[in-house]
Amino acid sequence: MADTYSPDTFKALLGKLIKTPDQFTPDELKAALEHLLAPDAALPSQIGAFLTGMHVGKLERRPEILAIAAEVLRSRAVKTVVEGADEEFVVDIVGTGGDGHDTFNVSTTAAIVAAGAGARVVKHGSRASTSSSGSADLLQSLGCVFVPPSQDTNIISWIPFTFILAPHYHPSLAMIAPYRKALPFRTLFNVMGPLINPARPRGMVLGVAERALGPPFAISLRASGVERALVVCGAENLDEISCAGDTWAWELKDGEITETKLHPVLFGLNVHPLTAVSGGTPPENAETFKALLTSGNDIPHSLTPVLDFVLLNAAALLVVAGLATDYKDGVRLAMQSVTSGAAWKALTTFRDAGKPAGFDSNRQ
C-alpha cells in the first residue's frame, strides 16, 4: 500500500489541513501520517508545512486526533509483550514536557518509588528535549543501560520497574525527527509520547503543560483502552502534580471522566515553591535521587521539598494502581518504599537486569 503514497497525494491532504483545519478528519490525519512515515511519500517542505498547520490549527487539542495519531504510531512500534500483564495492573507516569520549569526528575523517581511500594511500572520515556535532564538521562547517570529490542516482538520480563527508551521502540519516528527539531515550536509528535507506550499500561498518571490539553488527553486515554488514569496540570502550567499549590486534574475511572482539583493538603503534605524543586544536570539529579532513596529515615532536611514533590506524584500513581485507598494512604506507602530501601531495590533490580554479559553501553 506504500506505493500509493506520494507527494502528489499528500498535497491534497495538506491543502485540506491548511484551508479548513476544523474539518480535517481523523481518517485524513491517518492518511497524512502514513505519508510522513513512508519513505519519499512527502517532500521536506510538505512535512514542515504539515507540522506547522497542525500546530497553528491546534489539532492536538482534539481528542479524536490524538487517539488516531496514537493508534498509527503504536501500530508501527516494536511489538511488546509484558510478562504477567494479564494478572497485574501495569501503570506508567509521564508528562508531555515543555512546561519550561526544568524541575527535578519527579516522574521517574515517583515511578520507582511506586514500584518499590508494589506497583508494576513500565515507564516509557526518552532523553531530554526541553529540560536539562530527561528520564533516560537520569537513569543512565544512575548506571542503567537500555538494551535495544533484538527481535520483532520484545518481551518485558517481570520486575517491579522497567524503563523502555522510546526511540528504540518507535523507529519510524526517526524519519521525521530532523523536521521536528528544525521548527521553533512543539509539534503534535512532542506531546504524543505519553499516549504511545507500546507496553499499553492499564493505568496512567499523565501530566500536561496546558490546562486545555487535560480533557482531550483524558478522552484519548479512555479511547486507547486505559482503565484508570489521572491527567494533571499544575496551576503554573506544570506537567506534574504541583508541590506549590493547586493542580487541575481529570480522573478516568469506570469509563467516566471527572474534573477535580488537587492540592498538597489533600495528601497531608506541605506546600513548597517550584524553585525549591529545581532540577540540575543528570549527574546532579542522580545524586539527589541517591540521597533520597538510600538515606533510610535520615533523608537530609534540605531535600524535604523534593521528597514531598516525589511523594505527591508517587501517591497518585499508587491510587491509580489500586494499591492505595486515597492520597494520604498513597503517601504512607510511598514513604515506606523510600525509607525501607524498597524503592532503591526497584532501581537496582532494573539496572542489574539490563546488563547482560558483554553488553556494550555505547550502543545506547
DSSP calls for 36-74: HTSTTSS-HHHHHHHHHHHHHTTGGG-HHHHHHHHHHHH
Percent of the chain past pLDDT 70, that is, above it, reads 95
User: 54-68, 110-124, 128-142, 289-303: lowest mean pLDDT where?
Assistant: 128-142
Confidence of residue 284 (pLDDT cuts 50, 70, 90): very high
Domains of the chain: 7-57 (no CATH), 81-350 (3.40.1030.10)
Measured CA to CA, the distance from residue 324 to residue 170 in angstroms comes to 33
pLDDT at residue 363 greater than cutoff 70 = no
Assign 172 a pLDDT band (cuts: 50, 70, 90).
confident
Secondary structure class of 26 (helix, strand, coil): helix
Count other C-beta atoms under 10 Å from residue 224's C-beta: 18
Residue 341 pLDDT more than 90? yes
Cell 517550584, located at residue: 274
Check if the beta carbon of residue 42 is closer than 8 Å to that of residue 10.
Answer: yes
Side chain identity, residue 181: K
Residue 241: closest CA among 146, 101, 144: 101
Residue 3: its pLDDT value, please? 55
pLDDT at 177: 84
Average pLDDT in the chain: 92
Q: Has residue 257 got a pLDDT over 80?
A: yes
- Residue 130, pLDDT score: 56
| Cβ(137)–Cβ(127) below 8 Å | yes
DSSP per position, 101-152: --B--HHHHHHHHHHHTT-EEEEEE-S-SSSS--HHHHHHHTT---PPP-SS
Phi, psi of 303 (to 5 degrees): -95, 5
For residue 134, pLDDT over 70 is answered with yes
Q: pLDDT digits over 198-225, tens only?
A: 999 999 999 999 999 999 999 999 999 9
